[in-house]
Amino acid sequence: MKGTRYIFHVAILLTYLRMCSGQSDDEYPVVEIENGQVRGRSSYTVGENRRYFSFQGIPFAEPPLGQLRFRAPVKISNWTGILNATEDRSFCVQQSDPVIGSEDCLFINVYTPSLEGANRTVMVWIYGGSFVTGLSSYTENGPDYILDEGVIFVSLNYRLGALGFLSTEDAAAPGNWGLKDQLLALQWVQNNIGYFGGNASAVTVFGQSAGAASISYLLQSDKAAGLFSKVITQSGSSLCLWGLNRRARRTAFSIGTSLGISTNNSTVLLEKLREVDYTTLQTTATTVSTLITLENPLQGIFFGPVIEPESEEAIVVGRSDELFVEGSFQRVPILTGVNSNEAAAVGDVPDILRLYLTMYDVGVENLAPIDLNKRFSVRSTAAHIIMYRYFGFGLITIAPWDQVIKFISDDQWYRPVRRMVQSLSDYVPVYFYKFSYEGNLFGVTNRNFTGVGHSEELGYIFERNASVNYNVTETDRNVRAITVKLWTNFAKYGDPTPSPEPLLQNVNWEVAGTDLPNLNYLDINVELALKQNPFEESMEFYDGIYDTYGDSPYDTY
């Protein structure tokens, strides 16, 4: 009897202490997952003021430090006690000056409208940032509007730059560590999302730019089979020229040379690089990779995925374009698209930097897609035709900037994304879009270009920098509501317009490939409009270039 009274008094005391500290079980719920217990917190969405629960900064891998640097991630060990998951943790090392971030960064975040049941749709976000920047924090990717639709949102960190993608293109360092982080995180979702009310069989993975290219690679990997049921890729594909690093081995050894490591042996290089502190390594890697990239940015940028030698842990082992054409990918519904003027985000450049473009005037062959043909004479002929198509008989150095932007948009985004849509449409339902609404939610001020630049659509999916006044209009909010509804409908039903809906103007978004070679797409603007063949003239031109001068099979396109 005394023991019973003792337990009763302790329970009252604990309840009192929680009330005094403001930490009730309801406000700071504890969930037991595969590795142990985690404590989250409750909040309310900025849109409809709906309650949700967030669990931020949950480790899904052992810290990739020391001998785990430049290796595939290792699943996190179990912990004892209750892990505090009430705020964002470290983000991965960024390509920046000064260097910011941490090597101990492999964390995942879960936001759920309810902890009851286990049948909610799940959307997993993979950020972009050219494979050298990006983070999964709430300030960058606030999921409030997704949560308002009753969908669970998951975001994750993956390694970037040299720490995420350095490769010697052999068994010593096959590379793609960042992609392997994503893979392990998706496995974590399968094993744990049910504890947060989610349905592991209803996971949509979505991402933008480098995140979209990453998803394309995961789509082609047997290792990712069964980890997601639908895919959304925004402004990116593994077919993009910037989505494949063809100069990885050279970059890795050049970093070593810059750090005083003199060797031709990959194993020795990796052993020495693991001894370098991460800030020195990242600073050196930034300098070296930038110099190599500037030799011709159209051939790929900084760091990124590589085609790996075959091994048990390899993710990227084939040519992406060839795999898509052959149908060697996971057969799941796909929503994909681009913004109406992707390269406009580059903006104008000072006249002195225009001199850099002289490299294309004196080396016209650099304008041809690197994957087109290995024969220099053939690539050179194709490049001169491309030069005339976009710049006439003039020089790129003095061309109107709109012409330069159009060439970059077609070359780096529209051609590869449309090619992916065409190839995938032979096998699975593909919903193709062009985002054309020129609004204020991404924070573009003094818009001095037409169309929507790279990344702008993110402002119409996430709550970003809520404290900044972007002069948001009611039209902005309405386009945001439309975009979120299309995305979450697709995640729930595999169809962004499953039934007539006034918010979506009762539109029926048809799949892209019902009338091949014509491609259906939805133009997302104030008025939703079903159209065909975006960027048609430019795309027909490039198809002709590949048909006449190309030497397949291709990796990018």
- Which amino acid does the sequence have at 50? R
pLDDT digits (tens, 9 = 90+) for 453-509: 999 999 999 997 654 556 889 999 999 999 999 999 999 999 999 999 999 999 999
CATH of span 335-549: 3.40.50.1820
Is pLDDT larger for residue 117 or for residue 527?
527
**Residue-level pLDDT at 19:** 39
**335-549 shares the fold of 2-332:** yes
Confidence check: pLDDT of 195 > 60: yes
User: What number does CATH give the domain 2-332?
Assistant: 3.40.50.1820
Task: Report whether pLDDT(351) > 70.
Answer: no
Is the pLDDT at 10 greater than 60? The verdict is no
- Structural tokens at position 26: 């309801």
Q: What percent of the chain has pLDDT over 70?
A: 93
In whole angstroms, what is the distance from residue 148 CA to residue 97 CA? 37
Predicted pLDDT at 417: 97
Spans of all domains in the chain: 2-332, 335-549
pLDDT band, residue 13 (cuts 50/70/90) = very low
pLDDT tens-digit readout, 16-69:
344 334 445 689 999 999 999 999 999 999 989 999 999 999 999 999 999 999
Q: What is the pLDDT of the chain when averaged over all its residues?
A: 92
Report yes or no on whether pTM surpasses 0.85.
yes
Q: Would residue 209 show up in a list of annotated catalytic residues for this protein?
A: yes
**Could you tell me the sign of the dihedral formed by the alpha carbons of 24, 26, 32, 35, in that order?**
negative
Strands (E), 60-195: 82-84, 107-112, 120-126, 152-156
Q: How far apart are CA 557 and CA 547, in angstroms?
A: 12
Give the pLDDT band (50/70/90) at residue 539.
very high
pLDDT tens digits, one per residue of 115-132: 988 799 999 999 999 999
Residue 113 CB contacts under 8 Å (≥ 6 apart), including other chains: 50, 51, 52, 53, 120, 147, 150, 151, 152, 197
Q: What pLDDT, in 10s, does the model give residues 510-526? A: 999 977 778 999 999 99
209, 235, 237, 320: which is the annotated catalytic residue?
209
Rounded CA separation 417/194 (Å): 34
Residue 9 has pLDDT above 60, yes or no: no
Q: What is the dihedral of CA 463, 469, 474, 479, to 10 degrees?
A: -40
